[in-house]
Amino acid sequence: MSVAIIDYGSGNLHSAAKAFERAARAMENPEKVVVTRDPDVVFRADRVVLPGVGAFADCRKGLDSLNGMVDAMTEVVRDKARPFFGICVGMQLMATQGKEYVTTPGLNWIAGDVEKISPREENLKIPHMGWNTLNLLREHPVLERLPLGDKGRHAYFVHSYHLNATNEADVVARADYGGPLTAIVAKDTAIGTQFHPEKSQRFGLALISNFLKWKP
Protein backbone atom coordinates (compact mmCIF):
# COMPACT_ATOMS: atom_id res chain seq x y z
CA MET A 1 0.00 0.00 0.00
CA SER A 2 1.41 3.40 -0.94
CA VAL A 3 0.60 7.08 -0.49
CA ALA A 4 1.84 9.38 -3.26
CA ILE A 5 2.45 13.02 -2.27
CA ILE A 6 2.76 15.04 -5.46
CA ASP A 7 5.78 17.35 -5.74
CA TYR A 8 4.94 20.00 -8.32
CA GLY A 9 7.01 22.82 -6.89
CA SER A 10 4.14 24.40 -4.98
CA GLY A 11 3.71 22.34 -1.85
CA ASN A 12 4.63 22.61 1.79
CA LEU A 13 6.31 19.35 0.97
CA HIS A 14 8.72 18.61 3.79
CA SER A 15 6.32 19.08 6.71
CA ALA A 16 3.46 17.42 4.81
CA ALA A 17 5.57 14.35 4.06
CA LYS A 18 6.82 14.14 7.66
CA ALA A 19 3.27 14.35 9.02
CA PHE A 20 1.99 11.59 6.70
CA GLU A 21 5.02 9.43 7.49
CA ARG A 22 4.46 9.88 11.22
CA ALA A 23 0.77 8.99 10.93
CA ALA A 24 1.59 5.99 8.72
CA ARG A 25 4.14 4.61 11.21
CA ALA A 26 1.46 4.53 13.90
CA MET A 27 -0.78 2.26 11.82
CA GLU A 28 -1.03 -1.50 12.32
CA ASN A 29 -0.04 -2.02 8.68
CA PRO A 30 1.96 1.10 7.77
CA GLU A 31 1.53 2.49 4.27
CA LYS A 32 4.61 3.62 2.36
CA VAL A 33 4.70 7.40 1.82
CA VAL A 34 6.41 8.52 -1.40
CA VAL A 35 7.05 12.09 -2.57
CA THR A 36 6.99 12.03 -6.36
CA ARG A 37 6.93 13.99 -9.60
CA ASP A 38 6.26 10.83 -11.62
CA PRO A 39 2.69 10.36 -12.93
CA ASP A 40 3.28 6.60 -13.17
CA VAL A 41 3.94 6.45 -9.42
CA VAL A 42 0.74 8.40 -8.82
CA PHE A 43 -1.16 6.11 -11.18
CA ARG A 44 -0.09 3.05 -9.14
CA ALA A 45 -0.64 4.65 -5.72
CA ASP A 46 -3.38 3.55 -3.34
CA ARG A 47 -3.84 7.12 -2.05
CA VAL A 48 -2.90 10.51 -3.49
CA VAL A 49 -2.07 13.75 -1.64
CA LEU A 50 -1.84 17.16 -3.32
CA PRO A 51 -0.37 19.84 -1.05
CA GLY A 52 -0.18 23.46 -2.15
CA VAL A 53 1.15 26.85 -1.07
CA GLY A 54 1.05 30.07 -3.09
CA ALA A 55 -1.16 31.52 -5.79
CA PHE A 56 -3.76 29.35 -7.56
CA ALA A 57 -2.48 30.12 -11.08
CA ASP A 58 1.13 29.34 -10.14
CA CYS A 59 0.13 26.05 -8.55
CA ARG A 60 -1.93 25.04 -11.58
CA LYS A 61 1.00 25.93 -13.83
CA GLY A 62 3.32 23.80 -11.71
CA LEU A 63 0.93 20.86 -11.85
CA ASP A 64 0.56 21.18 -15.62
CA SER A 65 4.35 21.27 -16.00
CA LEU A 66 4.49 17.60 -14.93
CA ASN A 67 3.60 15.90 -18.20
CA GLY A 68 0.74 13.45 -17.68
CA MET A 69 0.22 14.23 -13.98
CA VAL A 70 -3.29 15.71 -14.24
CA ASP A 71 -4.41 12.75 -16.37
CA ALA A 72 -2.90 10.28 -13.89
CA MET A 73 -4.56 12.01 -10.93
CA THR A 74 -7.90 12.15 -12.69
CA GLU A 75 -7.86 8.48 -13.62
CA VAL A 76 -6.76 7.34 -10.17
CA VAL A 77 -9.28 9.47 -8.29
CA ARG A 78 -12.24 9.76 -10.65
CA ASP A 79 -12.10 6.40 -12.44
CA LYS A 80 -10.32 4.09 -10.00
CA ALA A 81 -12.01 5.79 -6.99
CA ARG A 82 -8.92 5.88 -4.80
CA PRO A 83 -8.74 8.30 -1.85
CA PHE A 84 -7.40 11.80 -2.53
CA PHE A 85 -6.44 14.53 -0.05
CA GLY A 86 -5.97 18.15 -1.19
CA ILE A 87 -4.30 20.56 1.23
CA CYS A 88 -4.73 24.37 1.07
CA VAL A 89 -4.19 25.33 -2.60
CA GLY A 90 -4.21 21.59 -3.34
CA MET A 91 -7.80 21.64 -2.09
CA GLN A 92 -8.59 24.81 -4.05
CA LEU A 93 -7.38 23.16 -7.27
CA MET A 94 -10.31 20.75 -6.92
CA ALA A 95 -12.62 23.67 -7.84
CA THR A 96 -13.99 24.62 -11.25
CA GLN A 97 -11.78 27.69 -11.41
CA GLY A 98 -9.67 30.07 -9.35
CA LYS A 99 -10.11 33.84 -9.38
CA GLU A 100 -6.84 34.88 -7.79
CA TYR A 101 -5.52 37.78 -9.91
CA VAL A 102 -6.53 35.95 -13.11
CA THR A 103 -9.19 33.34 -13.83
CA THR A 104 -7.55 29.91 -14.02
CA PRO A 105 -9.25 26.56 -14.67
CA GLY A 106 -9.19 24.07 -11.82
CA LEU A 107 -9.67 20.31 -11.90
CA ASN A 108 -13.46 20.74 -11.68
CA TRP A 109 -13.89 17.90 -9.19
CA ILE A 110 -15.86 20.20 -6.86
CA ALA A 111 -18.19 22.67 -8.61
CA GLY A 112 -17.44 26.23 -7.53
CA ASP A 113 -14.97 29.10 -7.70
CA VAL A 114 -12.01 29.99 -5.51
CA GLU A 115 -12.72 33.57 -4.39
CA LYS A 116 -11.13 36.14 -2.11
CA ILE A 117 -12.34 36.07 1.47
CA SER A 118 -13.99 39.26 2.71
CA PRO A 119 -14.42 39.41 6.50
CA ARG A 120 -17.19 41.68 7.76
CA GLU A 121 -14.97 43.24 10.45
CA GLU A 122 -12.45 45.78 9.14
CA ASN A 123 -9.92 44.85 11.83
CA LEU A 124 -9.61 41.28 10.51
CA LYS A 125 -6.56 41.11 8.28
CA ILE A 126 -6.06 39.28 5.02
CA PRO A 127 -4.41 36.83 4.65
CA HIS A 128 -6.26 34.95 7.35
CA MET A 129 -3.49 33.46 9.48
CA GLY A 130 -4.07 31.56 12.67
CA TRP A 131 -6.03 28.94 14.54
CA ASN A 132 -9.74 28.32 14.13
CA THR A 133 -12.27 25.76 15.25
CA LEU A 134 -14.37 23.97 12.63
CA ASN A 135 -18.16 23.89 12.36
CA LEU A 136 -19.32 20.52 11.02
CA LEU A 137 -22.01 20.57 8.32
CA ARG A 138 -22.13 16.83 7.71
CA GLU A 139 -20.43 13.68 8.92
CA HIS A 140 -17.43 12.25 7.10
CA PRO A 141 -15.23 9.22 7.92
CA VAL A 142 -12.04 11.32 7.83
CA LEU A 143 -13.45 13.38 10.73
CA GLU A 144 -14.54 10.40 12.80
CA ARG A 145 -14.00 10.86 16.56
CA LEU A 146 -12.44 14.29 16.10
CA PRO A 147 -13.63 17.03 18.50
CA LEU A 148 -15.17 19.80 16.37
CA GLY A 149 -17.38 22.81 17.04
CA ASP A 150 -16.78 25.85 19.24
CA LYS A 151 -15.19 23.77 22.00
CA GLY A 152 -13.32 21.46 19.64
CA ARG A 153 -9.74 21.38 18.44
CA HIS A 154 -8.23 24.18 16.38
CA ALA A 155 -6.78 23.92 12.86
CA TYR A 156 -4.10 26.18 11.38
CA PHE A 157 -5.07 28.40 8.44
CA VAL A 158 -3.02 30.71 6.22
CA HIS A 159 -4.87 31.92 3.11
CA SER A 160 -6.57 34.83 1.34
CA TYR A 161 -8.95 32.79 -0.84
CA HIS A 162 -11.38 29.94 -0.26
CA LEU A 163 -13.50 27.57 -2.33
CA ASN A 164 -17.05 28.87 -2.71
CA ALA A 165 -18.75 25.57 -3.56
CA THR A 166 -21.81 25.59 -5.81
CA ASN A 167 -23.36 22.61 -4.04
CA GLU A 168 -23.79 22.85 -0.28
CA ALA A 169 -23.58 19.04 -0.10
CA ASP A 170 -19.90 19.22 -1.10
CA VAL A 171 -19.02 21.31 1.99
CA VAL A 172 -18.18 19.24 5.08
CA ALA A 173 -17.08 21.98 7.50
CA ARG A 174 -16.67 25.73 7.73
CA ALA A 175 -14.65 28.07 9.90
CA ASP A 176 -15.61 31.58 10.94
CA TYR A 177 -13.44 34.62 10.23
CA GLY A 178 -15.80 37.56 10.17
CA GLY A 179 -18.11 35.30 8.19
CA PRO A 180 -18.16 31.68 7.03
CA LEU A 181 -15.10 30.21 5.30
CA THR A 182 -15.01 26.86 3.55
CA ALA A 183 -12.73 24.66 5.64
CA ILE A 184 -13.33 21.13 4.29
CA VAL A 185 -14.89 19.89 1.06
CA ALA A 186 -15.49 16.31 -0.02
CA LYS A 187 -17.04 14.44 -2.90
CA ASP A 188 -16.87 10.72 -3.65
CA THR A 189 -13.34 9.58 -2.72
CA ALA A 190 -11.79 13.08 -2.65
CA ILE A 191 -11.48 15.34 0.39
CA GLY A 192 -9.72 18.68 0.80
CA THR A 193 -8.90 21.00 3.69
CA GLN A 194 -8.26 24.73 3.43
CA PHE A 195 -6.23 24.52 6.63
CA HIS A 196 -2.89 22.72 6.99
CA PRO A 197 -3.27 19.44 8.88
CA GLU A 198 0.51 19.01 8.88
CA LYS A 199 0.74 22.22 10.96
CA SER A 200 -2.29 21.50 13.13
CA GLN A 201 -0.54 19.42 15.77
CA ARG A 202 -2.46 16.49 17.30
CA PHE A 203 -5.70 17.35 15.55
CA GLY A 204 -3.99 17.37 12.16
CA LEU A 205 -2.21 14.06 12.78
CA ALA A 206 -5.48 12.45 13.86
CA LEU A 207 -7.17 13.69 10.69
CA ILE A 208 -4.32 12.37 8.51
CA SER A 209 -4.51 9.06 10.33
CA ASN A 210 -8.24 8.85 9.60
CA PHE A 211 -7.54 9.56 5.93
CA LEU A 212 -4.97 6.74 5.79
CA LYS A 213 -7.54 4.34 7.28
CA TRP A 214 -10.43 5.56 5.09
CA LYS A 215 -11.85 2.91 2.78
CA PRO A 216 -14.52 4.65 0.69
Sort 86 into a burial class: Cβ within 10 Å, 0-12 / 13-18 / 19+.
buried
Bridge-based pairing of strands 47-50 and 32-36 is unpaired
Q: What is the torsional sign of CA 166, 172, 175, 176?
A: positive
Instruction: Give, in degrees to the nearest 5, the angle at Cα 72 between 67 and 77.
Output: 150
Q: Please give the single-letter amino acid code of residue 26.
A: A
Counts for the chain of helices (H) and strands (E), in that order: 6, 14
Residue 13: which of 202, 209, 207, 196 has the closest Cα? 196
Catalytic residues: 88, 196, 198
On whether the CB atoms of residues 137 and 173 are closer than 8 A, the answer is yes
On whether the CB atoms of residues 140 and 161 are closer than 8 A, the answer is no
